[in-house]
Structure 1
Amino acid sequence: MLMKKLFIGTLLFVSAFNVFAQNKNITISGNVVEEATMQAIEQATVQLYSLPDSAFVGGAATLSQGAFTLPKVQAGRYALKVSYIGFQTKIIPIRLSNSRLNHNVGTVSLLSDAIMLSEAVVTAEAPPVTIKADTVEYNASAYRVPEGSMLEELVKKLPGAEVSDEGKITINGKEVKRVMVDGKEFFSDDPTVSMKNLPVEIVEKIKAYDRKSDMARITGIDDGNEETVLDLTVKKGMKRGWIGNFIAGYGNKERYEAGGMMSRFQDDATFSILGSANNTNNRGSSEFGDSGQGLGGGGGGNGFGMGTGVTTARSLGMNFAKETKKLQIGGNIQYGYSDNDVQRKSVTETFLGEQSSFENSNNSSRRKRNDVRADFRLEWRPDTMTTLIFRPNGNYSTTDVINESDMRTFGNEYQPVNKKGSNSISKSDNYSFNGRLQLFRKLNNEGRNLFVGGNFGYSDGDTKSDSHSETNFYKDGNEDTAIEYDRHTNRTNDSRNWDVSVAYTEPVFKNHFLQTRYEFSHRKRLSQSLVSDPDSMMANGYVESLSSRVENFYDTHTAEVSLRGIHPIAMYNIGIGANPQSSLSKTSIGPNSNKQLPEQNVVNISPNAMVRFNFSKQHTLVFRYRGRSEAPNIEDLQDVIDQTDPLNIRYGNPNLKPSFTNNMMMFYNKFVPDVMRSYVFNLFYTNTINSVANQMRYDVTTGKRIYDRVNVNGNWNANGFFSFNTPLKNKKFTLMSGTNVAYSDAVSYTSVGNMDAQLSTTHNLRAG
């Protein structure tokens, strides 16, 4: 059982219970330092055990300057254990007597940890970073974190790694989508669970690599569906039984935090149960999102652009995985609860050519949410030539939201333009169920194989809301007109989709393979919003001009062909795909009901290319290009999108053109074993031709904004990352550096009054 500690404020709660004899009047104190530098070690663990039974008596963590003082004990024989991540544990026998009530053990120095590199013959400190092909491997013991830390604290110290306040993880410029344990999935695609609940003490290594899809992994067909993962290697000593940890803390302003985990890690199986509760914005799992679309965890965001606020969260989860020679099964079930309270004041200025618009707003939001999610996966290999994979998942969520806001808009000379007060209350229920079935068959040992697969998905959401709004407009500094309404809105979203696909790979000549794939997908989506207003005409029980009911149908064919070549030093893949798509929109309620769009038929083209140079197992260079054309979203083609808010009217554009996106990437990795030096250099570039953006028309007299969807050019972004790691000559210190630079341009149009629309470009530069 691993025991952890957590500080909140100035109060330390230690989860241990012991029975002490009378006359506990002897105090033990001392200091803990690094032996090599004599620098103090904070947060080292100091534990006292009685002899000869080795029963735990008490413990503490070192404070500033490495000082510690243990709870008072009785006279007798004891063993003092001092430990810290990255250092060798030291055990000191001591004898206490009543003649000396203050026992100072002096300065305890800890040696840097050493790892055996070859059969107990030669020992050396393992390099902090090694590179093997496309995998960057981090040695956990090379990075010091406080005793009792969770995985998140270790990841933050890895060169090239960043963890945002919202819990988003990036490594070497790429976002991490999944955390695995010994190659097995751990709580599916929710890395927040691992980051917040797995203790650092169990981790030996962390591997970062791009995990290919099931199809690419089994057939070798590069379908472009890869994700960056962190794969944890559990220490051998942690696989001998059950391990667990419990943390708890309480601080001022009634802040509290508690959590625990019990796990059993084996080479062929894992099982974990975990739970947490806190009101410190430290959510132990991500929210699963409406209809299964994840919202991300850690920050307590409420989904309405309100900011973080204060979040009370509770979570409970179970994960399992089992592997045999022919069968791999696994899955998890999670429950999450969050109560988010946000108060926000903001002052904004919007630049409108030679003029500006100013806005002062006060907003408050209270949001309560419950989520339940279950995932299951099965991979069956009845023989060496056949693999069957089945992955179903489902989730359900309920959300209650109360919003209040007060907003005032001022013109260029800070004269009042309008003011708006509003409040609303809503309740949402969402559920979804999805599944994937895939069959892979190798037809020979020369690279010929066949794939057949299918996916299905269903989601349904219902939201009922009541809102009140009062908007006042000014003229010459005085209130002129007012708009007030009370509305009830019933929104329904229903989505159903399925697809079938087949792929075939044929060796065509030496070291070359021809890969073909065909897929047909069908998707149906219903979006309905019925708005009732007692002050308006409601012949059918709702306001026709504010309501809508739209059914969208999509049928897509995908045909792809590619040629793959494999050579000792280089591997390349070049291909092209065609995606004929037909879409139809049927509007039966709302302002667009008399303006039916014709059926849209487009052909999207998707070229791709990749070349990889393997100079050695620890020296690689990869170039990758993907192009994708995409038809406009069918909702953006509607004449009227939303006019429920009199200050923000949104229109579509039936003349939108398809967009085309270019993605280019370069990855360079090199590791020099002799000097344990590593280099990582990644580049990313994306630009979109005919991307869809908003063109805003601003009325200076009322402050009303009208948004039209238009095609724009000039949107692009570039991102570069460089990491360098090398030990110094004495091998006791390592120089680690990581640099990230990102630049982007975002284009939009703005017009004021009757003026022509002006092009504006937002430049964004970030470096760190």
Structure 2
Amino acid sequence: MGKVIFTVIVLLFAGITINAQSNLRISGTVYDKSDKEAIGQAGIRVLNAKDSTYVSGTSTLDNGQFSISVKPGQYIVGISFLGYKQTFINADVRKKSAALGDIMLSDDGILLGEAVVTAKAAEIAVKGDTVEYNADSYKVQQSAVVEDLLKKMPGAEVDSEGKITINGKEITKILVDGKEFFSSDPKMASKNLPASMVDKLQVLDRKSDMAQMTGFDDGEEETVINLTVKKGMKQGVFGNASGGLGNKDRYGVSGIVNYMLNDNQFTFIGGSNNTNNEGFSDNAGTSFRGMRSGGLNFGGNNGITKSSNGGFNFAITSSPKLKWGGNIRYGHAGNDVEASSYKEEYNSNDPKGNQFSESKSWGNNKSDNFSADLRFEWTPDTLTKIIFTPNIQIGSNTSNQYSDKLVRYEVDTLNWGSSSNWSNGDSRSTSARLQISRQLGKPGRVLSLSLTGGFNDLKNDGMTWSQTNYKTETGDSLQIIDRKSRQENNGYNWRAYVSYVEPIGRNNFIQLNYTYRKNHSEADKKSYNLDEYEQYTVVDTTATRKLENDFVNQEIGLNFKSVRPKYNYTIGVAVQPSSSKSWTTTTSRTSYVSNNVVNFAPVAQFNYLWSKRHNLRLDYNGSTNQPSTTQLSDVRDESDPVNITYGNPDLKPSFSNRFRIRFQNFNPEKSSALMLFGGFTFSTNDIVQKTYRLESGTKETTYDNINGNWNAQLRLIYNTPLRNKKFSVNTMTFTQYNNNNGYIDATKNTAKTIGFGESLGMRFRTDILTQTSDNSSLEFMLRGNVNYSNTTNSLSGQDDQRILSYGGTFSTNAYLPYGFMIDSDITYSANNSSQSTYKLNQWIWNATVSKDFAINVKQKSYGTGTLKLTFYDILQQRANISQSTDPRAFTQTVTSTLPAYFMASFVYKFQLFKGGAKMSDMGNMQQGPGPGGRASGGFRGRPPGM
């Protein structure tokens, strides 16, 4: 009996062993050797090592992984994918499973050359958190710049002021091969860099330097574009120069020269025009914006702007350990603008009803600014990283404004008058940041330090003249103001931050951080009226004051982060004790306000990843906003007798809770993308204005806390080609709801606004076969949009405010034989507002005809040229109107803009690359993929027969 039992046990163990051995596996992960991107759907064949007979096969998942079951033995594993060299690896699985690890496939130049004739590279790919657009998939003119390329891409929008948004997110920087290009001014790159240099355009949410060092998000994430340069253009000189003249004295000249030597880049930029094409941010004008009376909005698409700019950008890799670069820039801008404004302010107590204001304004603004930004990145060893970023800005600004204004009820006039303002000022500021990070032995254990400091100084001289007529029961009264003022604003700030990260267990991390911040600011304004000798010597007590503020903030934070293959999350909380001391000094008294508070700022983040192309992100953070010195000071500002303001010393800090959701799913093989963005914000002790109206029409404004303000929004974006890939559609649906509490004549009013927007577009592209060797094509795009909002007020007697706007755009691009191109776009815009006094109903038609040609002398190439004839606003209907509503008022402004014109211009492009290569050798953007054209990269689909 014992022998029988022993025999049974032996047989059982033998069966288990045989079964285990029959379940041995061969596994691995397949990557592209050039960019380390996982390759999905690669073919895996298992061959017998003795005679190479086929045993089994499979294909890799989207993440490049594969696992295949085999019997014990010796095998040869073949890995293949169209456009790559086939790879064979020996696998010994006689005793245990074989893990082949990371398998790198190299491009097969010959096979790739054959493949691209019949297959087009994907327009959109996803690498981790980066969305990558293949630039050669979008046809643009030979003389096009990056902005023209962006306008072709699904999900990308460029507005009239050059602001770039992609999939609903604003772009704050443009990088070139990972290096910053003119810091935080994306227009310098989008409006100047040639599109022909771009190989890939990558969009990513980039974390701050400190967040990358610590591994913990610090809330300073920004959406940036990285332009990868075509490989053949990384050793040589290329650029372009253009000049144009038009009717109505329009002109435009510009030039750019790029010198690239492997990882070193040098760029010179310059230009001048009077067609509102600034191509840079007006830092000087922005510095003085809050000091201008009258409220005219200069720059952008308002009025007519003459601008000139020049700059130098560089990025140098001195060694593998040291990288440095930066930019120097000068800009001048002059802007002339006219505006008419209409405002209806709701009135809860006055039996005469709401109050109406109508004004007309004229203004001129001139500014000059100089800025320099540098960045040094040093990694002395593999455990240490040091980043130093100093910058300086110098600017000057001169502004002139004149306005006429009328304030009335439905029938009765309250006051009317005119005013003029002049100001001239200079500003300067400088700052620097030093960041150091050191890994302390154990992977993930990191100590980081950041030191930041800076100062600013602004001086501004101004003149104000106004006359106001008041209608009273005893007759009209006249008040004249003739005042000269000088304002000096200065301050300094510094901040110290230290972070310690300790790994706990498996892929868990805990962070302890501390921040100390000190800000000091002074605003000293002295105003004088005329004396009996017509000299400005009499101190104006209503407008002379000095504000001083010392603010100290500390933060102690504790965060926990966990990383798993399919998800990761972060939770934390910060304690923020702060102290604020403010002094307001006038000719008669000094007001002192002290405010000491302790705030709590929680944070939470959750990311779930089905794959790198398919993920969900949830965010929450809470933050405290301190009232400003002006909002806390009870000293009355009566410099404008019609609008008197003063603060409230009893104001409490406001606290905001923000929730965000982001879902995205990309299918690069189909070039389709689905994205969902949502947000919800609610505030406690929100700081709002509180206005009291007097019989004369004068308004007194102060501040108060209020609860119940919240808003929610949801945006859905979907882009996809249709079945034959010549047609593609993209849609964006947007909805929001705002619950906004405020005060009307000290009475609480709740304005509830619901909004809806829809934008639907279709694009068609096809190649045209001709008798010539040219690769001609036709492209058209049709887009329609509608936006609707409705606001209801809780106070009785206040009508609903409805704003409806709608329109559409039809554009065509025809690339014709012999280098001709026709580009045309027609846009229709209309609005229908219940409160509006101006109904917009306009057609705007722009068109360009151009001819590209080679410049050859005695069979030697000297570059290429483009002749262009551009017609702007052919139907002469362009208008510039904005409308807004809130719990207190409805406002509408119509601003002058650039009138219709046409311009003839010439663009010259030159290039000189190592070995004498020409631009056409790099894959000319003018041709793009199509019959006989070459698409960059391999075709990533399932290989034939798999």
TM superposition score normalised by structure 2: 0.65
Q: Which has the larger radius of gyration?
A: 2
Partner of 2:591, secondary structure, is: coil
**Match status 1:681 vs 2:676:** yes
Which stretch shifts more, 509-518 or 433-442? 509-518
How far off its partner does 1:447 sit? 0.6
Q: Please list, as runs of the form range in 1=range in 2, the aligned pairs for 1:147-186 lying within 5 A after superposition.
A: 147-186=142-181
Q: Please list, as runs of the form range in 1=range in 2, the aligned pairs for 1:66-465 lying within 5 A after superposition.
A: 119-123=112-116, 124-289=119-284, 303=297, 308-323=302-317, 324-353=319-348, 355-413=353-411, 415-465=412-462
For residues 714 and 253 of structure 1, the distance between their equivalents in structure 2, rounded to whole angstroms, comes to: 53
How far off its partner does 1:657 sit? 1.5
Distance 1:675 1:154, change over 3 A: closer
- Give the equivalent residue in structure 1 for 2:899: none
Distance 1:622 1:328, change over 3 A: same
- Give the equivalent residue in structure 2 for 1:624: 619
Contact 2:631 2:702 in 1 (8 A): no
Which stretch shifts more, 183-192 or 128-137? 128-137
How far off its partner does 1:157 sit? 3.1
Which stretch shifts more, 130-139 or 423-432? 130-139
For residues 148 and 742 of structure 1, the distance between their equivalents in structure 2, rounded to whole angstroms, comes to: 41
For residues 714 and 484 of structure 2, the distance between their equivalents in structure 1, rounded to whole angstroms, comes to: 49
For residues 238 and 294 of structure 1, the distance between their equivalents in structure 2, rounded to whole angstroms, comes to: 42
**Match status 1:672 vs 2:667:** yes
**Match status 1:471 vs 2:461:** no
- Give the equivalent residue in structure 2 for 1:29: none
Which stretch shifts more, 301-310 or 191-200? 301-310
Partner of 2:631, secondary structure, is: helix
For residues 313 and 445 of structure 2, the distance between their equivalents in structure 1, rounded to whole angstroms, comes to: 36
Deviation string, structure 1 residues 439-498 (Cα, Å, up to 9, x no partner): 11011242101011200010000111111111110136x951111121011111011011
Distance 1:600 1:482, change over 3 A: same
- Counterpart residue identity of residue 509, structure 2: F
- Counterpart residue identity of residue 254, structure 1: D
How far off its partner does 1:245 sit? 1.2
- Counterpart residue identity of residue 693, structure 2: Y
- Give the equivalent residue in structure 1 for 2:749: 759
Which stretch shifts more, 283-292 or 450-459? 283-292
Contact 1:340 1:367 in 2 (8 A): yes
For residues 285 and 305 of structure 1, the distance between their equivalents in structure 2, rounded to whole angstroms, comes to: 11
What is the aligned residue count? 640
Contact 1:133 1:619 in 2 (8 A): no
Contact 2:299 2:335 in 1 (8 A): no
How far off its partner does 1:614 sit? 1.9
For residues 531 and 320 of structure 1, the distance between their equivalents in structure 2, rounded to whole angstroms, comes to: 46
How far off its partner does 1:766 sit? 5.0
Q: Which of 522, 533, 553 pairs up with 2:529?
A: 533
For residues 289 and 135 of structure 2, the distance between their equivalents in structure 1, rounded to whole angstroms, comes to: 29
- Give the equivalent residue in structure 2 for 1:609: 604
For residues 530 and 352 of structure 1, the distance between their equivalents in structure 2, rounded to whole angstroms, comes to: 35
How far off its partner does 1:589 sit? 2.8
Q: Please list, as runs of the form range in 1=range in 2, the aligned pairs for 1:640-719 lying within 5 A after superposition.
A: 640=635, 642-699=637-694, 701-719=695-713
- Counterpart residue identity of residue 759, structure 1: N
**Match status 1:499 vs 2:495:** yes
Distance 1:735 1:237, change over 3 A: farther
- Counterpart residue identity of residue 246, structure 2: G
Deviation string, structure 1 residues 636-655 (Cα, Å, up to 9, x no partner): 11113532000111121111
Partner of 1:237, secondary structure, is: helix
For residues 294 and 199 of structure 1, the distance between their equivalents in structure 2, rounded to whole angstroms, comes to: 33
Contact 1:488 1:532 in 2 (8 A): yes
Contact 1:640 1:651 in 2 (8 A): yes
Contact 1:610 1:623 in 2 (8 A): yes
Higher relative contact order, structure no. (Cα contacts within 8 Å, ≥ 6 residues apart)? 2
Task: List gaps (5 residues or longer) in structure 1.
Answer: 1-114, 296-300
Contact 2:465 2:483 in 1 (8 A): yes
Partner of 2:171, secondary structure, is: strand
Contact 1:307 1:342 in 2 (8 A): no
How far off its partner does 1:761 sit? 1.6
Contact 1:486 1:534 in 2 (8 A): yes
Which stretch shifts more, 303-312 or 515-524? 303-312
Contact 1:130 1:678 in 2 (8 A): no
Deviation string, structure 1 residues 303-348 (Cα, Å, up to 9, x no partner): 5699711110000011000123101101001100011111223333
Distance 1:515 1:131, change over 3 A: same
Deviation string, structure 1 residues 650-706 (Cα, Å, up to 9, x no partner): 12111112111112112222223454433222222323222111112223x422111
- Give the equivalent residue in structure 1 for 2:732: 738
- Give the equivalent residue in structure 2 for 1:42: none
- Counterpart residue identity of residue 487, structure 1: R
Contact 1:436 1:453 in 2 (8 A): yes
- Counterpart residue identity of residue 578, structure 1: V
How far off its partner does 1:541 sit? 5.6
Partner of 2:196, secondary structure, is: helix
Q: Which of 688, 713, 720 pairs up with 1:726?
A: 720
- Give the equivalent residue in structure 2 for 1:488: 484
- Give the equivalent residue in structure 1 for 2:548: 551
For residues 293 and 269 of structure 1, the distance between their equivalents in structure 2, rounded to whole angstroms, comes to: 37
Which stretch shifts more, 452-461 or 139-148? 139-148
Distance 1:641 1:683, change over 3 A: farther
Distance 1:175 1:562, change over 3 A: same
For residues 629 and 449 of structure 1, the distance between their equivalents in structure 2, rounded to whole angstroms, comes to: 28
Please give the root-mean-square deviation of Cα atoms over the aligned residues, in Å: 2.6
For residues 673 and 305 of structure 1, the distance between their equivalents in structure 2, rounded to whole angstroms, comes to: 40
How far off its partner does 1:630 sit? 2.4
TM superposition score normalised by structure 1: 0.79
Contact 1:676 1:726 in 2 (8 A): yes
Which stretch shifts more, 445-454 or 329-338? 445-454
- Give the equivalent residue in structure 1 for 2:63: none
Contact 2:547 2:629 in 1 (8 A): no
How far off its partner does 1:584 sit? 0.8
Contact 2:369 2:396 in 1 (8 A): yes
How far off its partner does 1:731 sit? 3.6
Distance 1:746 1:304, change over 3 A: farther
Partner of 1:224, secondary structure, is: coil
How far off its partner does 1:116 sit? 8.8
Partner of 2:233, secondary structure, is: helix
- Give the equivalent residue in structure 2 for 1:112: none
Contact 1:526 1:552 in 2 (8 A): yes
Distance 1:533 1:540, change over 3 A: closer
Partner of 2:714, secondary structure, is: strand
- Percent identical: 36
Partner of 2:223, secondary structure, is: strand
Distance 1:720 1:293, change over 3 A: farther
For residues 446 and 404 of structure 1, the distance between their equivalents in structure 2, rounded to whole angstroms, comes to: 64
For residues 306 and 449 of structure 1, the distance between their equivalents in structure 2, rounded to whole angstroms, comes to: 45
